Every structure is written in C-alpha cells, then in structure tokens.
Chains A and B, each alone.
Chain A
Amino acid sequence: MTDVSNKIREEAGKLLEKGEVDVIIGFEKGSIPLSATPCFIRNEADIEKLIWNEYCGNNLSLYLSKARGKIGIIAKGCDTRAIVELIKEKQVQRERIVIIGVPCEGMLDRKRIMIRCQSRNITGIEDQGRQLLITGDSLNVAVEKDEFFYPACQVCANRNPVMCDVFIGNTIEEQKTDEFTDVTDFNEKPSEERWAYITDEIDRCIRCYACRNACPLCYCKECFVDATQPQWVGKTIEQSDTLSFHIMRSIHLAGRCIECGACERACPVMVDIRKLNRKMSADVKNMFGYKTGLDIDQPAPLSVFKPDDSEEFILDI
C-alpha cells in the first residue's frame, strides 16, 4: 500500500509539475480511524497528502463534473467504469481528464467493522495482511478482512482499471463473480418472501437521498423526486412512495449502474439498495448482453434496440 501511495504521489506530482492537469482528485487520510477522505490537490506542495489504502472506497468520478480545468483522477476499477459511462453520456470529456489507474483488491466496510468493534473508541490498528488487529478502550479484536469487504467489492468483476492513462502497481487477477447468483437465488424465493424482504429494507429508508448524492451516475440537475410538475413520486416516507423512489432510481440506473456500491456505503441506515440495482444489471446482461462500464464504444442498452429483443414478457394471445 505504501508503495502504491508513493507511486501515486510521484505520478500526480509529475502531472501537476508539467502542467498537464490543474487538479488531482485523490484520497487523503480521514479524520477518524479506518477512513480516507477525497481530496483535491492543486499545488505540488500538497502532493504528500495523497494516500492509498483499503479505505479509499468513495467513487471519485462523482467529482469530475464539479472540478474545473484539466483533472487528474486516481481511479480504481469501479471509478474507471463510472468514467466510461460518464464519457458516453457526455458528462465528462475524455480529453479533459488524466486517469491514474490503480488496481483494487476491495475496500473495507468501516461501518461493519465498527459494529464488530461495538462502536468503541479505537486507538490502534495493526495491519497484518489478511487481518486487522484493532485495539482500543477495552477492545482487542482481530478482524478478518475477507469478511469485511464491501458487498459490492466482493462481487466486483473488474478490479483493474478498464481504462487509464497511467497505471500504478500490478494487474491483479479478476474474481469470477459476475454470474449474478445472488439475484437468481433471490428471484427463486416466493413473491411474498421477496416483498417482505424488500419492504423490510425500504421501511428503514429515511429519504435522505445520500444514496443518490453519492452515485456518480445520478447527475440530473433536478432529480425526479424533487420535481413537482408532475410530482411522480410523493415525498412522504410512506412505503409506497419510498419504494417507488427506489424502483424508479433503479430503472434510471438500468444499464448505467457500474456497481461501485457508493449508494450502499452512503446509506446511513444500511438499506440493501443494491438488491434493486443488481437485478437491473443482471437483466441488462441477460436480456441485452450488456456489461456496464467496460466499453466506451458500446451504446447504452436503453439507447438502442434489436428487432429480435426478447418478447417473453409480452402477453401473447
């Protein structure tokens, strides 16, 4: 990790020095344990702030449209997948960004680790490779990393950058995980059970829209939940409204969600939002043969069609 951090600083420094970029978007150390925070580096002097570790979960592509000038961005597999879609959707101009790609073996879920630590004050963390030894006030636990990667990371099929200008580190082996068995398993449950699970999750939603705000692909100037003419989805926390919000969001992300898990990371009440998004990913792959975020030249599945697209769902009389 230290190696990677150093290499990032070196490359980012070069870019700034040569004036090839005006700003570097990367991570700096978080203010609390087990965290890292997105940062914007404009001066070479600040380059040392940049870090790389297993807490760099945020999808930095979110900030691309917000920064001005030419941008260097530190990008994991998922960040690059988002960039691919954003370029396709004309939200980011390829020539305006320099992608510093970094392979990623998964990011750790601070929230669950904290639960494991019973939310006690942490004073020491020792990284032992596959384990973290965490100490603090009457706290001494060993955390198996494998158990605490984010759910999205656990099924990530593209941990290497899919597109970059500068590559840092070594290519890592990809997980064979994109069979969507989780979706299939869930679908096999009876409708009542699925409904019960989904509503249980959704009922926790407090409609803070953190999921939407964290999502790199949710860039509408006005989200449909805020629109009034018409107000398609009510603003109450009644189940029907909340669920409709999440259904529509998943529909809007169909064929666009790059499964970075930002929504879930952002959710303060840990709603299983990905249950809906994963379904759409599985469908666009199975129905239209489309994998999101991989190919800048492949048109989005909902912007094209084939005359012989599946008709299975059509009522045939």
Chain B
Amino acid sequence: MGNKETSWEPKIIAFLCNWCSYAGADLAGVGRMQYPANVRVIRVPCSGRISPFFILSSLQNGADGVLVSGCHPGDCHYLTGNYSARRKFALLKSQLEHIGIEKERVQFTWVSASEGGKFAEVINRVTETVKALGPAKRLVKKCL
C-alpha cells in the first residue's frame, strides 16, 4: 500500500474557457513552461457555460481534483459570463466544503490569454495540493 501511495498520481479535470484560460494554457505551451501532466482539459466557450453538474460529475466519476478557470472579471469575451459564473461557483464551493469535501479538491481561478506563466503556476499549485490530499474518496462512485 505504501509503495502504491508514492506512485499515485492524481487525475484532475480542468474546465477552461475558450478565450482566456484555454488561450493562456496554449501560451504556457508556446513558452515551454513545464508543469505536471495530471490535468485533462475540457474546453468550454465561457466559464459561464460551466454548470455545477460538470464539477460534481467530475468528482463522482473519479477525478481527484477539479479546476475551473475563466477570464478575469471584467474581461469576459461574452461580457458578463464570468460574473454570473462566479456567483454559482461561490455557492457550489461553499456547499461542498460544508458537507465535508476537502476544499482544495475544487479550485477556481482566472487566467487571461496572456498569462501562460500563471496557468503553469496554477497547475503546479493545484496538482501539488491535490496530491497532498491523496486520492479522492468522498463522493466518488464505487460502481460506474
């Protein structure tokens, strides 16, 4: 078991908005900024597209962590998508914490199209914290 723990790598689902964060992730690539290979990106038009179901479903299906990233407030390609998303995310994150899900499992951040460095850092940080938590146990479905 101990051996298994050390070789364990978390799997993290990231929802990135097409215009800022996905572009920021591409820019991290353009700059050859290195970060851990634990993240699986799902591209969505806007952080406003992200339903609480996406996050919950990721956790249920075995993701050890979930990252949501959109344009900085005020910079939304769709003008206000991230503002309305922010309220939704605030409540969901708070509720998950409330019922006892480790709060670091679900993270939200803003990464602009020019912040390749920030994207890499976010991935580093999120991977590190999720790794420290160990495999997700709460809310994971046992039979899929």
Contact = CB atoms under 8 A, between A and B. Distances in A.
Contacts, number: 120
Instruction: Give the interface residue-count category, chain B.
Output: 35 or more
A280 B99 contact: no
Nearest to A254: B91
Interface string B71-87: 00110000010011011
A200 B80 CA distance: 40
A314 B60 contact: no
Contacts of A279: 94-95, 98
Interface of A: 183, 186-187, 191-199, 224, 232-234, 236, 238, 240-241, 243-244, 247-248, 250-251, 254, 276, 279-280, 283-284, 287-288, 301-302, 305-307, 309-311, 313-317
5 contacts: A195-B99, A195-B138, A244-B60, A283-B90, A315-B109
Interface stretch (B3-11, B27-35, B50-58): B50-58
A248 to B, nearest CB: 7
A315 B108 CA distance: 6
Contacts of B22: none
A194 B90 contact: no
B39 to A, nearest CB: 14
A315 B73 contact: no
A186 B98 CA distance: 8
The listed residue with most A CB atoms (<10 A of its CB), out of B53, B90, B143, is: B90
B44 interface: no
Contacts of A287: 87, 90-91
Nearest to B144: A234
Given A195-B100, A305-B80, A307-B73, A280 B139 contact: no
User: 10 shortest A-B CB distances, which residue pairs?
Assistant: A195-B100, A305-B83, A194-B100, A315-B109, A240-B141, A198-B99, A232-B53, A279-B98, A191-B100, A315-B107
Nearest to B106: A313
Nearest to B53: A232
A307 B74 contact: yes
Given A192-B100, A307-B74, A313-B108, A302 B87 contact: yes
Contacts of B99: 194-195, 198, 243, 247, 276
Given A254-B95, A287-B87, 17 more contacts: A191-B100, A191-B102, A224-B53, A238-B142, A240-B139, A241-B141, A244-B56, A248-B52, A250-B95, A251-B88, A251-B92, A279-B94, A287-B91, A301-B87, A307-B83, A313-B89, A317-B122
A309 B86 contact: yes
Given A248-B53, A302-B84, A310-B90, A238 B100 contact: no
Contacts of B53: 224, 232, 248
A250 B92 CA distance: 9
A283 B102 contact: no
Contact of A288 (B87, B92, B100, B126): B87
